Chain A
Amino acid sequence: NAGVTQTPKFQVLKTGQSMTLQCAQDMNHEYMSWYRQDPGMGLRLIHYSVGAGITDQGEVPNGYNVSRSTTEDFPLRLLSAAPSQTSVYFCASSYVGSEQYFGPGTRLTVT
């Protein structure tokens, strides 16, 4: 199993650009989530999904969109990047009610 994979590992965007962070898992987990981690801070939940076609907002959803068309994939879209979205983004997956497995992260800089 590859576990949870994230692409790209690094990304630099200009203000106003859009992009999609990719997340995939091969463990048939129902639950997937996106977190952001700012320097020296804990993880904050952006969006999560409990199955294909079902998504919901976390603590800091503004500026981000998600969709879950398959069990395996949970992409995170930034519609119009802002410097405040400079952060490290982690994707995670789990069986519902079980421990989460995290990806290696995407380091995003918005200039």
Chain B
Amino acid sequence: DAKTTQPPSMDCAEGRAANLPCNHSTISGNEYVYWYRQIHSQGPQYIIHGLKNNETNEMASLIITEDRKSSTLILPHATLRDTAVYYCIASYSGGYQKVTFGTGTKLQVIP
């Protein structure tokens, strides 16, 4: 799996959009970008994933650059409950895989 790089921490005002960046400059053509988050000490929770097109679901939007070397997770209207550690992962879409997590970005939503 390609290595990903994320800022260690970010702040966002409640109600504003939170934009979390991820660099994955060595990603290969068949690796998807996945995002998870971990609230307090709970198990991580899947948010969204994509290959090369922008994706949106009820939780977030994922913007992947055309060269696929970076992506941004967007939480459109951050709430206090979005305070969590967010992990960006590059992972193969099929076949056997070994999925590893980095240290993620600690997002603090401020009232």
Q: Assess whether B34 is in contact with A96, with CB atoms less than 8 Å apart.
A: no
B44 touches which of A31, A96, A102 (Cβ 8 Å): A102
B interface size (C-beta, 8 A): 25
Residues of B within 8 A of A104 (CB): 42-43
Chain B nearest CB from A4 CB (Å) reads: 8
Binds B, one of A12-20, A43-51, A64-72, A75-83: A43-51
Instruction: Determine if B7 is an interface residue (Cβ-Cβ < 8 Å).
Output: no
Chain B nearest CB from A108 CB (Å) reads: 13
Binds A, one of B12-20, B21-29, B66-74, B90-98: B90-98
B87 touches which of A33, A42, A59, A97 (Cβ 8 Å): A42
**Segment 84-111 of B: residues with Cβ below 8 Å from A:** 85, 87, 91-104
Instruction: Determine if A7 is an interface residue (Cβ-Cβ < 8 Å).
Output: no
User: How many CB-defined contacts (below 8 Å) exist between A and B?
Assistant: 61
Residues of A within 8 A of B49 (CB): 99
Residues of A within 8 A of B102 (CB): 42
Residues of A within 8 A of B104 (CB): 42
Instruction: Determine if B45 is an interface residue (Cβ-Cβ < 8 Å).
Output: yes
Q: Assess whether B97 is in contact with A31, with CB atoms less than 8 Å apart.
A: yes
Complex CA gap A50/B102 in Å reads: 21
Q: Give me 30 A-to-B residue pairs in the complex whose CB atoms sit less than 8 angstroms apart, sorted by A's number.
A: A31-B97, A33-B99, A42-B104, A45-B99, A45-B101, A48-B98, A48-B99, A50-B96, A50-B97, A56-B98, A59-B100, A88-B41, A90-B43, A90-B44, A92-B43, A96-B95, A96-B96, A96-B97, A97-B91, A97-B93, A97-B94, A99-B34, A99-B46, A99-B49, A100-B46, A102-B43, A104-B43, A105-B41, A105-B42, A105-B43
Report which A residues bind B (CB closer than 8 A): 4, 31, 33, 35, 41-45, 48, 50, 56, 58-59, 88, 90, 92, 96-97, 99-105, 107
